Amino acid sequence: MGERFKRGLGTVSERFGQVLECVANFTDVICTPRHVDMSKVHDRPHKYTPFFDGTIGAIDGTHIRISVDRVFHDDYINRHGWPSQNVVAVCDFDGWVTFLGVGMAGAVHDMRVLREAWTKPRFPHPPPG
């Protein structure tokens, strides 16, 4: 970014943080299901019948490489040996992200990350049945 916009790394870092904060303030507007009641089953997975019949979306997780202070370094070392944050994402079949769960240390097991995401009020729970 610094090379592209001819700015110093300090300026880029400062502005990046400001933009990231603004985007984070809009996550409740941007990352939300279009059908809040989750009643619409998408017709796109029909070619995968019967495996995805009744499916309303997909969930997956990944590790994002980070730099972390020495004091917390060991907490963020993942199973591959490098520091990361666990990220879980939920999307619908149109490719729209409906939930992002971030901030868990890389050493945390994926199931714990998912369980933590389930407790968030914005997590898109499907209706009973």
Compute the average pLDDT of residues 15-21.
81
The predicted-structure confidence for 33-84, as pLDDT tens digits, reads as follows 666 666 666 666 667 778 877 777 788 888 888 888 888 888 888 888 989 8
Total domains, the chain: 2
Extract the runs of DSSP E, i.e. beta strands, from 26-105: 58-65, 84-91, 97-105
Residue span of the structural domain in which 13 resides: 1-30
pLDDT greater at residue 18 or residue 24 = 18
For residues 55 and 11, state if they share a domain.
no
pLDDT band, very low/low/confident/very high, at 26 (cuts 50, 70, 90): confident
pTM of the model: 0.65
Confidence (pLDDT) at 7: 83
Beta bridge partners of residue 84, listed in sequence order:
65
For residues 36 and 21, state if they share a domain.
no
Confidence (pLDDT) at 43: 65
Buried b (16+ CB within 10 A) or exposed e, 75-102: ebebeeeebbbbbbbbbbeeeeebbbbe
